[in-house]
Structure formats: structure tokens, C-alpha cells
Structure 1
Amino acid sequence: MNLASPRSLFFLAFLACVAMLGTGFYLQYVVGLEPCPLCILQRIFFAGAGLFSLIAALHGRAPRVYSVLILLSSLAGAGTAGRQIWLQTLPPDQLPACLPPLEFMLESMPYTKIIYTMFHGSADCAEVSWTLLSLSIPEWSLLAFIAFSLFAVFQFFRRG
């Protein structure tokens, strides 16, 4: 199998998404960091990009359709990561209030309100509790989403 074939590259993108999700679960369950609502949304967008990449790798047809879906998922993820980075730069007195736990929101709020609340973020999202090479988790996520977006654009415009 040609490593530079569209199917191979989609499969590598899928593996990269699995690695990103695996890192998030490692930080949650081994290191003990609890994900905020924006972190959860970023995981959903990584899972979406990964799922579309896997389907593209298995299907092998219509790579442009899958490229657009990966691009949309990546741009939405980049938006949530950017929002979280912005929240991390705000002074403490300008941060939105903390949110109730997700389980409580699922039991007591309509889904449209939960989605709005999660996209809005909270003071929990502004906490920087882990860094690598001086970059926080949402900054790493933003870089990954940018890379997935560039990959999707490359796959969209490539020939063959």
C-alpha cells in the first residue's frame, strides 16, 4: 500500500485523532484532570474528525466529501479551543460563572440550553492545570485542529 495514497493518509489522520483522544483520556483518568465543557466539546470534534477519516480510509471513494466533513469538524474544534484560550487570558473578575456538573445539566436542562452553555464556557475552562513546552491543553488542541484543517484542505485539492 502506498503511504501517500489518500486512503493511507486518511488512516494516518484517524490514528492521530485516536492519539489526541487517548491523550485526553490519559490526562483525565491517570493524571486526574477533569475536563471542562469546552474540553468535552473538543473531544467530540476530534472524534468526529477521526470518524470521518476512518470512513474515508475504509470507503476509498469521494475523498472530497470526507475532506469537507473533516474540515468542518476541525474548524468547529478550533473555534472551541480558541474560545478556551481566550477565556484563559481573561482576568478572574471577567470570567463567566462556573457550571453545574454535566450529569446535572443533562437531567435538568433542555439540550439546546446545554449546548449553548457548553459552547459559552465557564470559569472552569479558564484554569490552566497542565502544560507541555509552555503550551496549555487547548493551545495544543488548537494546533492539532489547525493541522487537521490543513490536512483536509490538502486532501480536498489533491489529484489522484
Structure 2
Amino acid sequence: MRLSYRLVNAALVLIAIVGMSFALYLEHVTGLEPCPLCIFQRLGLMAMGFIALIALIHNPASHAVKRVYAFLAGLGMLWSIGVAARQIWLQHLPADQVPSCGPGLNYLVDVLPMKEVLAEVLSGSGECAKIDWTFLGQPLSVWSCLFFSCLLIVCIWQMLRRYR
């Protein structure tokens, strides 16, 4: 059985919605405040879902355009994986090497140019190294990185597979 291009994109959109719903559930129902790196991981997931939605609606006939959509969706996942990996690294630093907590993301966006906001957030802070939630002994950052990696594999497969 061959999975259709549209079906795979519909699945990616649905998975992005479920992933964002879970993140919002953790934030608004359980009270788990996202750190700036968590918010940036969400941006990559939303980008992948948005690109998959465009590909689903457009349903291009050109194989090259299908591959471009898959590539762009994969970039969103690479972004999220990179940010999650950075957070995992911060969480495994010895306590004396963890960066100090900085101002919140809203404050940074209000007072700094976007380039400096990106640099500040991606450098991480003490709040990003804190482990508030675990499942099977692993923090959320590890599960997020695994989740994003699986989605990246789907994007790569979508980009490299043969179309009829």
C-alpha cells in the first residue's frame, strides 16, 4: 500500500495540532510554564504543520514542488530538534555551569531587536535548564526531541520517496 502525498500531509497537520494541544495542555491545565526554548520548539512544530497544511491544500502535481514542501517542513523540524537538543544540553550541565536566569521572553521582545532576542533565547538561561516534568524518567525536552526526530524522518521520507 502506498500512502498518498495528501494523506501524509494531513497526518503531519494532525500530529502538529496534537503536539501543540499537548503543549498548551501542559501550560494551561497543569500550570507548566514554558521557557523561551520551549516556545521556540513550538515555533518549529507550527511551521512544519503550516507548511504541511499548505501542501495538503495545494496538492501540487509537480514532484519537485512536493519535495520543496517536504524540505521546508523538514527545516521546521530541524529547528525544533536543534532547540530541544540545546535544552537537553543545558539540563545536563553541572549546577555551577548553568547560565543565570534572564528576563522573560515578552520583555526581551519588547526591548530588543529580533536578532538580539534570538541570540539571547538560543543561548538559554537557568529557567531552560530546570526540569519540571518527566515521563519514564526522561524530561520533556528529551521526549520533544524524539517526537521532532520522528517527524523529521517522515519529512525526509516524503522528500525522497518516489511519486507516481
Both proteins in one fold, TM over 0.5: yes
What TM-score results when the alignment is normalised by the length of structure 1? Answer: 0.95
Render the CA deviation track for 1:77-109: whole Å, top value 9, x for unaligned: 100000000000001110111111222112222
Partners of 1:78 and 1:90 lie apart in 2 by: 19
| Aligned residue type for 2:148 | F
- Correspondence for 1:68: 71
Among 77, 80, 83, the alignment partner of 1:77 is: 80
- Correspondence for 1:23: 22
Partners of 1:40 and 1:3 lie apart in 2 by: 35
Identity %: 37
Among 124, 130, 133, the alignment partner of 1:130 is: 133
- Correspondence for 1:54: 53
What TM-score results when the alignment is normalised by the length of structure 2? Answer: 0.93
The Cα shift of 1:135 comes to 2.0
Q: Relative to 1, partners in 2 of residues 1:111 and 1:60: Cα closer, same or farther, differing over 3 Å?
A: same
**Aligned residue runs from structure 1 range 3-152, under 5 A:** 4-61=3-60, 62-152=65-155
| Aligned residue type for 1:68 | F
Gaps of 5+ in 1: none
Render the CA deviation track for 1:54-82: whole Å, top value 9, x for unaligned: 11111111210111001111111100000
Structure 1 consecutive aligned stretches of length 4 or more whose deviation exceeds 3 Å: none
Alignment check: 8 A CA contact 2:44 2:76 kept: yes
The Cα shift of 1:148 comes to 1.2
The Cα shift of 1:3 comes to 7.9
> Aligned pairs, how many?
159
- Correspondence for 1:158: 161
